[in-house]
A and B are shown apart, each in its own frame.
Chain A
Amino acid sequence: MKTETESLKEVLAQRSPFAALNKTEQIEFAQNAIPGRYKKGEICAYQGDVWPYLLLVGQGKVDIVKESPEGRSLIVQTLETGDVFWGLAFFQDNIPMPVTLQASQISHLYLWDRAIAQPILLRNSHALWGLCQLMVVRMERANEIVEDLAFSPVTGRLAGLILNHYGDAMGDYTKRNMTLDEMAARIGSTREMVCRLLYRFSDEGVVRINRTEFMISDREKLEGFARKVKG
């Protein structure tokens, strides 16, 4: 049976930026990983903490959550199995985390302290370019969110979320697996506004909704809402 280090080494050989390291460097990374198991809802890193780590999601899902001083939350992105993330302090001394990392299901993570990872990465420019490429992908996602928030009204953002999340529920009831708070946190709004808009969609025959189930009844109209631009 493979040890955890051996299994991790195989994962690293497939994943950017680790895949660009040579075999010795990959083994060094695997041996120095700090593994951690998190339950659903458990916090992996807190907004405001100095967190100088590189993170690989071995298994599970982790939400990147921004919290406002008034206690509102915005889920910026969800990391999935194989995704890589980093604390700002991994790159710059003493810069606190701008977000919280919270497991949204049972998750198995690997962390590398900057003191260990940076010297290895600094031997290998290909791995660093790989890391840059991941950043660009992440930044493109952040730009898409800006585009949504700046140009699309809340109605459009909610319609987009429903299409992405419940897109397969056309003409069939599906289980509601997102709370109003989660929906609000994903589109940068409040639960009250989400509730109001869901009832508006329902009144207009776009969706059918009850306490536990959800159905898209007029996909074309919902797509029309999603395309609308702020006036």
Chain B
Amino acid sequence: MTKSSDGLAQAPVFKKLTAVDRAELIRLAEVKTYRKGEFICWQDEVWPKALYIASGRIEWTMLSPDGKRQVVFGLGAGDVVWGHSLFDDHPMPASLEVMARCQVYQWPREVAMPIVSRNVEAVWDVSRLLVLAMRHVREVVYGFAFHPVAGRLARLLLNHYQPIEGQHTPRDLTLDEMAATVGTSRELVCKVLYRFADAELIRINRTEFVFTDRKKLEELAGEVS
């Protein structure tokens, strides 16, 4: 396994480090590969680490006591995660679940913090990343508070597929994945998708979507007042 500094030199926080500090972090990184379905950390586990995603896809997910899953936000190549436990020694409020095979660089607190602290602009970047993560979490809160399932599903379709009207788009989210993201059941997702199709907002088959009325979807998602 090779440790490349290319991606890291562009990533938030790490790009603000001096080349020497970055090289030291790369040398001290624990490089790991995870398969789809594996967990990098578990909700309720103390995980005082910083993580850089070199490739793949990860989701920040929460589980209810009876096993219901809620996706809070997704992360991909180039993204950086600062584990909450790194700041307060408390257990993580969510799990990091691997959605597509990924390679990550990770550092325990005692390695990451002293090196990052030598570059105060990099610490400022950590605070900006946390602000961004908080915005993701808050968007989910507002979705639940103000939007019915149809609105949340419309927003997911718009955000995930970034659709161009009339263009065929391969379906890469299962009904279960959509349900976990908008906080409902696969049956209701299926029903609402067919309702969208009946209202001619989308056309749908087993493998593809065609988005036929983006504006109406945006209205449903609450993005147009």
Which A residues are closer than 8 A to B by beta carbons? 66, 68-70, 72, 74, 76, 86, 88, 91-92, 98-99, 118, 121-126, 128-129, 131-133, 135-140, 142-147, 149-151, 188, 229-230
Contacts and interface: CB of A to CB of B under 8 A. Distances in A.
Interface string B129-165: 0110111011011101110000000000000000000
A149 B137 contact: no
Contacts of B141: 66, 74, 76, 142, 145-146, 149, 188
B146 A143 contact: no
Nearest to B70: A150
B62 A147 contact: yes
Nearest to A189: B145
A151 B131 contact: no
Given A135-B130, A150-B144, A188-B144, 16 more contacts: A69-B222, A122-B124, A125-B123, A132-B82, A132-B130, A135-B127, A136-B87, A136-B130, A139-B137, A142-B134, A143-B62, A143-B137, A147-B62, A149-B183, A151-B65, A188-B145
Given A121-B124, A122-B120, A142-B137, A66 B142 contact: yes
A143 B183 contact: no
Contact of B93 (A76, A128, A144): A144
Query: Interface centre among A128, A142, A150, by most B CB within 10 Å?
Result: A150
Given A129-B123, A139-B130, A72 B62 contact: no
A131 B128 CA distance: 10
B134 A135 contact: yes
A229 B124 CA distance: 39
Contacts of A125: 117-118, 120, 123
Interface string B85-121: 0011010011000000000000000000100011011
A136 B120 contact: no
B216 interface: no
A132 B68 contact: no
A30 B103 CA distance: 46
Query: Interface centre among B82, B88, B131, by most A CB within 10 Å?
Result: B131
A186 B168 CA distance: 42
B174 interface: no
Contacts of B225: 69
Contact of A150 (B62, B87, B93, B142): B62
Given A125-B117, A125-B120, A149-B141, A132 B126 contact: yes
A126 B222 CA distance: 40
Contacts of B113: 129
B120 A91 contact: no
Contacts of B72: 143, 146
B144 A151 contact: no
